[in-house]
Structure 1
């Protein structure tokens, strides 16, 4: 359940708490939903999951997306560049840039900052459509217009 951030009050999420959605290969835990930030300024979520690509190649026309690796190893494909990233690594994907994220052999965990917020709603909808809908280009294409996540 989301609430608007009130002046003078902190928004907190205890360890293991927060709204969670199982997306098959990965799981998302929302730390700050877009509607909990002033003017839907951002969304912050933790993703944790198994080895392999977590999504399809896609881009966002109105959103910048940042990744901070907490555990494991990842390969980020941003445009034509492959970027290996381990714990403590940060990757910023500017809007309009094709990208893909794949976890290494041990899987991984990362924080994802989406600016502006609201993208978490797409993940909740995908979670209702089946365990691997995140990586299904046809499913992604069907809802892309509503969520600024265009498979390419």
Structure 2
């Protein structure tokens, strides 16, 4: 890309992956921004959302477009509604979010620097937009493999009940 060129993305060029029961579409990838940031649309079905995890080198900011989602960390629980903004700062705060409603939640997620976009593309299963697959039942071998991939992207995964303690 030429310096100072405006980045444009056609909707037809986008693809989605199933991750943790949700449908994630990378709108702007790290490849397109020389790794400075990525933008991901996350559609999270009822009872969906990632388990507790942390990423010390990445700041993650969410904007709630539709629906209601509960964000949880070791220090707080926050119910985010349309228009809410949630920022997970660099430093490795352990966090998770879950859609506890009967409606699909739409989030816009900005990650800085990029990297989570590649992680989602590696662990996700390609699906058409608005297609939801149930979360896979994880064997110990599956979990170990996922943790190895997560480490490659500076992610740390925690047991599902970690933030309930």
The TM-score, its normalising length taken from structure 2, stands at 0.78
In the alignment, structure 1 residue 142 sits paired with structure 2 residue 148: yes
CA distance in 1 between partners of 2:150 and 2:124 (Å): 15
Counterpart pick for 1:60 among 48, 55, 80 = 55
Is the 1:43–1:115 Cα contact (8 Å) retained in structure 2? Answer: yes
Root-mean-square deviation over aligned CA pairs: 2.5
Which stretches of structure 1, 4 residues or longer, exceed 3 Å deviation after superposition?
14-17, 128-131, 133-137
Counterpart pick for 2:24 among 17, 24, 28 = 28
Q: Which runs of 5+ in 2 are unaligned?
A: 127-132, 159-165
Q: CA deviation at 1:59?
A: 0.4
Q: Which runs of 5+ in 1 are unaligned?
A: none
Match of 1:102 in 2: 98
Counterpart pick for 1:93 among 78, 81, 88 = 88
Is the 2:17–2:120 Cα contact (8 Å) retained in structure 1? Answer: yes
Higher strand share: 1
CA distance in 2 between partners of 1:123 and 1:74 (Å): 20
In the alignment, structure 1 residue 81 sits paired with structure 2 residue 87: no
Deviations 1:5-57 (A, max 9, x none): 3224322223465232122521111111011114x111111011201241110
Deviations 1:45-92 (A, max 9, x none): 101120124111010021111110000000000223100001100000
Match of 1:45 in 2: 40
After TM superposition, the structure 1 stretch with the greater mean CA deviation from structure 2, 131-140 or 56-65, is 131-140
CA distance in 2 between partners of 1:134 and 1:116 (Å): 30
Match of 1:132 in 2: 135
Residue correspondences, number: 147
CA distance in 1 between partners of 2:32 and 2:61 (Å): 19
CA distance in 2 between partners of 1:67 and 1:60 (Å): 15
